[in-house]
Amino acid sequence: MKVPLVSALATVLLVLGGCSAEVPSEQSIRTELQRRIAAESNGCMRLVETEKTNGYEAPSMPNAYVVVFNATIEFAKDCKWSTRMFEQGKHKNFATTITDAQARQKGGYWSEFFNMSQNPGAPFTEGTRVRVAGEQAFVKTEKGYQPLTDMFAVEELGRIFSDRDIRMALIAQFDPWDEAMYSWYDAAQAANPGAQRIKGISDFAAEVAERGGSSEEIRAAVEKELVPRFLKEIPKEDGWGNTIDYLVDVKYNLLFLRSPGKDGKSSWVLDDYQKGMQFYDPEDYDGDLVWYFNGTDSYFVHGPDIQEVNPFSDVPG
Please report the pLDDT score of residue 85 as a whole number: 63
Please report the pLDDT score of residue 178 as a whole number: 82
Q: How many CB atoms lie within 10 A of CB 122?
A: 16
Calpha distance 201→251 (Å, rounded): 15
The amino acid at residue 63 is N
Please report the pLDDT score of residue 216 as a whole number: 96
Mean pLDDT by 10 residues, the chain (317 residues): 47 38 88 96 95 87 89 94 76 91 89 87 88 92 88 86 86 86 88 83 91 95 92 91 94 92 94 92 95 82 91 81
Please report the pLDDT score of residue 48 as a whole number: 95
Please report the pLDDT score of residue 86 as a whole number: 61
pTM: 0.62
Calpha distance 102→270 (Å, rounded): 42
Please report the pLDDT score of residue 19 as a whole number: 41
DSSP label at 162? -
Calpha distance 145→103 (Å, rounded): 41
Q: How far is CA 3 from CA 81, 130, 218, 248, 301, in A?
A: 18, 17, 50, 54, 50
